[in-house]
């Protein structure tokens, strides 16, 4: 996670990280139980005025808490949770007066359900109070409603790393214990006792119980990730011990397996959440210091090289594997600083941040960059100017890509000095970019690496129990053609009566602009299609150089193609999946997005009927009933 989950009816369940997300999980999920507290008693004893009044208070209190959470008013949420806790305690006392009901045949089950729901509600209120009390002192840093802060973005990050996370980390363990107790109570409730149409205070009891149990299961799944984040993030950002990271600047307009050609790199040092310094250089300068020691993979024949260079080391679609290969070269270069991990960013991340900061003027080159679209070339201004400097203005210079470092220095300064009201937007932009794989992380620290993988920010090729597809392309000699290449992928799934599943995957690349000899020309592409291991190829249509292999736990089919300006090319594979499905099964399909790609268009058909059509913005799991 975060991975978009899409059901057949189009409903989307997105697992992500947003401000207030954990608060909603550990309050809203629990508070939905409060509506149930007196429901069985009201169902069988409508004349019990006291419990009916209690139910009104609990219902109203729960709605007030949820409203406070929705508007992120933490002070109001504390007040409302405390009031709700009192109402629940009173309800507990009043329900105990009917304890004899718990001994009656037929009725005792409903009374016991009410008791378990009440206990779960009280524990949930206690958990809510604990969470609120833990984060209340940091309301200004976290940007909750009514809390003001004069801290700039860099100061907020430092405060999060040195104060907020270390303070909250011990609470996660306590919260995990409380969650276990709550779940134990809820698991003893039987939703099947209640008719589907039985409603109390506008809530369908059966549906609400099922939703609450599912919510608790999700919370139980999320909590370990929260604990890992609170433990790992401070250390990752140099809490009490300086960290050094190598940054890849990937040119996604010259697409490569991990997101783009390694056009430049930087060494960044951080401590206590603060960037101490960052120095960047052209990747070719790094290659000048490197002595190749192993033969190049056969695929590099497409770029006419006889040696295996640092700049071509990101050939695996799995970012960790490519980073490890890069580092095996990097460590052989003398006098290079020891690093704690690798972070990859692309030009789309830069463009997204420019949308937040507005135009930025660099210090050294005195050039202004923006996210606006250049009218002539139909591409973002920042992308056009970076290519202009590297390929034309400074094409003969040994420091032709120095402007990248100049831009990054100016952008980081602008971001870190941003006023407090900009911080939420900066954080939101960063998280959205991580989900779209515009930034990727690889850490030596196992805790940090596990967290990145859990969040799906590590660019890994995933194991998956079901159908799977990942299309990976590499621009080998097509200039900056990915500025104008549009990709579409059609998946036709056919399920036979005996459960056999055959698929046809057709990938179409369209070169939407004419050649200019600078940015766009005929597009030369190395494609690899990853499908479940054990899949059996039935038919193919490729331009040339077809190969079949097993890699990263998948079956892989690769080929090479050329797409001419204002033309399209198609590659397709028809194959049989290594498993069968039967009527009533849930069919699961995971589609993983390649970093650096611009939202490939997806069309999915099952037995000839279109079930989904969308742009692939991030990894997406699709489920439908056979």
Cβ contact 134:167 at 8 Å = yes
CA pair distance 58, 31, nearest whole angstrom: 10
pLDDT tens digits for range 603-623 = 999 999 999 999 999 999 999
Crossing angle of the two packed helices 381-388 and 402-416, in degrees rounded to 10: 150
Q: Read off the pLDDT of each residue in 110-127 and give the average, rounded to a whole number.
A: 84
Evaluate if residue 589 carries a pLDDT over 50.
Answer: yes
Fold of 467-625: Immunoglobulin-like (2.60.40)
The residue ranking higher by pLDDT, 21 or 456, is 456
Give the CATH number of domain 243-454; options: 3.40.630, 1.10.287, 3.40.50, 3.30.310: 3.40.630
Evaluate if residue 5 carries a pLDDT over 70.
Answer: no
Cβ contact 478:515 at 8 Å = no
Evaluate if residue 58 carries a pLDDT over 80.
Answer: no
Evaluate if residue 47 carries a pLDDT over 60.
Answer: no
Q: What token pair was written down for 295?
A: 């033969």
Please, what's the b/e burial string for 293-320 (b: 16 or more CB within 10 A of its CB; e: otherwise)?
eeebeebbebbeeeebbbbbbbbbbbbb
Evaluate if residue 256 carries a pLDDT over 90.
Answer: yes
**What confidence category does residue 223 fall into, taking pLDDT thresholds of 50, 70 and 90?**
confident
Cβ contact 360:369 at 8 Å = yes
Q: What token pair was written down for 329?
A: 């070269």
Tell me the domain boundaries of the chain.
4-236, 243-454, 467-625
| Least confident piece of the model among 174-188, 252-266, 287-301 | 174-188
Q: Give the pLDDT of residue 517.
A: 85
pLDDT tens digits for range 59-105 = 677 777 778 777 778 888 888 888 888 888 888 787 777 777 667 77
Pick from 276, 279, 187, 176: which is nearest to 230 by CA?
Answer: 176
Q: What is the pTM (predicted TM-score) of this model?
A: 0.85
- Burial class of residue 625 (count of CB atoms within 10 Å of its CB; 0-12, 13-18, 19+): exposed
Q: Residue 234: how many CB atoms within 10 A of its CB? A: 22
Q: What token pair was written down for 60?
A: 């109203």
- Going by their DSSP bridges, the two strands 199-200 and 12-14 should be labelled as unpaired
DSSP secondary structure of 239-258: SSS-EEEEEEEEETTS--TT
**What confidence category does residue 53 fall into, taking pLDDT thresholds of 50, 70 and 90?**
low
Cβ contact 483:379 at 8 Å = yes
- Going by their DSSP bridges, the two strands 485-495 and 601-606 should be labelled as parallel
| Least confident piece of the model among 25-39, 149-163, 279-293 | 25-39
Q: Give the pLDDT of residue 373.
A: 93
């Amino acid at each position: 996670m975060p991975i978009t989950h899409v059901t057949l009816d189009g409903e989307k369940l997105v697992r992500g990280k947003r401000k207030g997300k954990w608060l909603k999980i550990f309050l809203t999920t629990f508070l939905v139980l409060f509506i149930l507290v007196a429901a069985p008693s009201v169902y069988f004893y409508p004349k019990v005025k006291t419990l009916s009044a209690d139910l009104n208070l609990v219902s109203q209190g729960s709605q007030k808490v949820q409203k406070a959470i929705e508007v992120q008013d933490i002070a109001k949420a504390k007040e409302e949770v405390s009031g709700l806790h009192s109402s629940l305690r009173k309800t507990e006392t009043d329900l105990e007066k009917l304890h004899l009901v718990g001994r009656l045949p037929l009725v005792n089950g409903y009374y016991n359900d009410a008791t378990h729901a009440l206990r779960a509600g009280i524990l949930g209120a206690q958990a809510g109070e604990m969470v609120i009390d833990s984060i209340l002192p940091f309301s200004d840093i976290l940007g909750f409603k009514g809390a003001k802060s004069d801290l700039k973005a860099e100061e907020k990050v430092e405060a999060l790393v040195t104060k907020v996370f270390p303070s909250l980390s011990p609470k996660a363990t306590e919260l995990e214990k409380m969650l276990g107790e709550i779940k134990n109570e809820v698991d003893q409730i039987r939703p099947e006792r209640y008719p589907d149409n039985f409603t109390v205070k506008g809530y369908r009891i059966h549906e609400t119980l099922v939703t609450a149990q599912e919510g608790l299961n999700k919370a139980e799944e999320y909590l370990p990730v929260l604990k890992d984040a609170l433990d790992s993030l401070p250390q990752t950002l140099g809490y009490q011990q300086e960290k050094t990271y190598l940054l890849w600047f990937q040119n996604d307009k010259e697409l490569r397996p991990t997101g783009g050609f390694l056009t430049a790199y930087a060494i960044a040092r951080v401590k206590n959440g603060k960037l101490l310094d960052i120095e960047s250089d052209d990747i070719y300068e790094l290659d000048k210091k490197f002595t190749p020691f192993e033969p190049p993979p056969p695929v590099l024949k497409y770029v006419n090289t006889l040696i295996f260079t640092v700049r071509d080391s990101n050939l695996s679609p799995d970012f960790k594997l490519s980073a490890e290969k890069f580092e095996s070269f990097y460590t052989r270069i003398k006098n290079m600083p020891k690093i704690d991990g690798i972070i990859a960013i692309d030009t789309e991340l830069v463009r997204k941040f420019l949308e937040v900061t507005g135009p930025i003027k660099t210090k050294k080159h005195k050039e202004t960059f923006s996210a606006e679209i250049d009218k002539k070339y139909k591409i973002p201004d920042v992308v056009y100017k970076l290519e202009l400097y590297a390929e034309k203005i400074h094409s003969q210079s040994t420091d032709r890509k120095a402007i990248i470092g100049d831009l990054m220095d100016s952008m980081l300064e602008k971001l870190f000095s941003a006023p407090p009201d900009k911080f939420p937007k900066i954080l939101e932009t960063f998280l959205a970019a991580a989900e779209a794989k515009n930034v990727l992380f690889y850490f030596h620290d196992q805790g940090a690496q596990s967290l990145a993988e859990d969040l799906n920010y590590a660019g890994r090729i995933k194991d998956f129990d079901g159908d799977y597809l990942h299309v990976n392309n590499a621009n080998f000699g097509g200039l900056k053609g990915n500025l104008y290449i549009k990709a579409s992928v059609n998946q036709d799934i056919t399920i036979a009566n005996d459960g056999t599943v055959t698929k046809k995957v057709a990938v179409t690349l369209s070169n939407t602009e004419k050649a200019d000899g600078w940015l766009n020309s005929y597009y030369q592409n190395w494609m690899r299609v990853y499908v479940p291991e054990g899949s059996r190829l039935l038919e193919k249509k490729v331009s040339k150089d077809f190969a079949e292999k097993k890699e990263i736990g998948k079956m892989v089919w690769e080929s090479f193609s050329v797409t001419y300006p204002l033309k399209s090319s198609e590659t397709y594979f028809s194959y049989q999946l290594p498993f069968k499905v039967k009527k009533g099964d849930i069919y699961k399909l995971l589609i993983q997005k390649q970093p650096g790609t611009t939202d490939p268009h997806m069309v999915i058909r099952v037995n000839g009927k279109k079930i989904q059509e969308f742009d692939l913005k991030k990894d997406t799991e699709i489920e439908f009933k056979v």
